């Protein structure tokens, strides 16, 4: 199962989502990228994931262009900008989904408030992607019933 998660900068939301998906099932092939990648991953995203025991500190922003010729089971956008500017994929994409989340890096306020917003959005991402994982990914792994009534 190959999944690509897209955001604009690939510094927060898509990296968090990738970290969660790999924590749910490390046999998945999960990648993240940005339509306009930043220079580095957001340190607050790394910190709030570390609080849950998930290390994304080695992640770095990547440009979606390096993935457009590949085949994907799912391409999931996590921000409006990436959804609106999602490139055309030359490779086959079985499912294209959009799960919109606020940008925690855009939050204005003191450090405590910013971290609380990063945690809130992190938890929203976790809940949405866990639901997706259970309803879509795990469902595909269940054996088909061949029994007759």
The CATH number covering residue 25 comes to 3.40.50.2300
Cα distance between residue 64 and residue 43, in whole Å: 21
H or E stretch at 49:
helix 43-50
List the single range of 44-48, 77-81, 127-131 with lowest mean pLDDT.
Answer: 77-81
Give the model's pLDDT for residue 54. Answer: 98
Q: What percent of the chain has pLDDT over 90?
A: 77
- Is 147 among the domain residues? no
Q: What percent of the chain has pLDDT over 70?
A: 86
User: Which stretch, 12-16, 77-81, 142-146, has highest mean pLDDT?
Assistant: 12-16
Is the pLDDT confidence value at 143 over 60? no
- Is 146 among the domain residues? no
Containing structural domain, residue 50 = 2-141
Q: Domain count of the chain?
A: 1
Query: Could you tell me the pLDDT band of residue 123, with boundaries at 50, 70 and 90?
Result: very high
Give the model's pLDDT for residue 84. Answer: 61
* 145 noted as active-site residue: no
- Is 99 among the domain residues? yes
- Is 149 among the domain residues? no
Give the model's pLDDT for residue 141. Answer: 63
Give the model's pLDDT for residue 66. Answer: 92
- Is 7 among the domain residues? yes
Cα distance between residue 9 and residue 35, in whole Å: 7
Give the model's pLDDT for residue 4. Answer: 96
Instruction: Report whether 126 contacts 45 (CB < 8 A).
Output: no
The tokens for 10 are 């690939």
Find the helix packing angle between 43-50 and 111-132, rounded to 10°.
60
Given the residues 12, 79, 145, 147, select the one marked as catalytic: 79
* 86 noted as active-site residue: yes
Q: What is the pTM of this model?
A: 0.89
Instruction: Tell me what the pLDDT averaged over the chain comes to.
Output: 89
- Is 27 among the domain residues? yes
Which residues fall within 8 angstroms of residue 135, CB to CB, at 6 or more apart?
Answer: none
* 147 noted as active-site residue: no
Chain segment 21-37, per-residue pLDDT in tens: 999 999 999 999 998 99
Cα distance between residue 42 and residue 16, in whole Å: 10
- Is 45 among the domain residues? yes
Candidates 31, 28, 36, 39; CA nearest to 14 is 31
Give the model's pLDDT for residue 138. Answer: 81
């Amino acid at each position: 199962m190959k999944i690509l998660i897209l955001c604009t900068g690939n510094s927060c939301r898509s990296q968090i989502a990738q970290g969660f998906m790999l924590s749910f099932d490390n046999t998945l092939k999960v990648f993240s990228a940005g339509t306009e990648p930043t220079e580095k991953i957001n340190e607050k995203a790394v910190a709030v994931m570390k609080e849950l025991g998930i290390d994304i500190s080695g992640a770095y922003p990547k440009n979606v262009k390096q993935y457009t010729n590949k085949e994907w089971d799912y391409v999931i956008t996590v921000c409006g900008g990436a959804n609106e500017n999602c490139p055309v994929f030359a490779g086959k994409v079985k499912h294209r989904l959009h799960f919109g989340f606020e940008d925690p890096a855009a939050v204005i306020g003191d450090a405590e408030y910013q971290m609380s917003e990063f945690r809130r959005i992190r938890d929203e991402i976790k809940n949405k992607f866990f639901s997706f994982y259970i309803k879509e990914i795990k469902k595909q792994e269940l054996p088909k019933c061949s029994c007759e009534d």
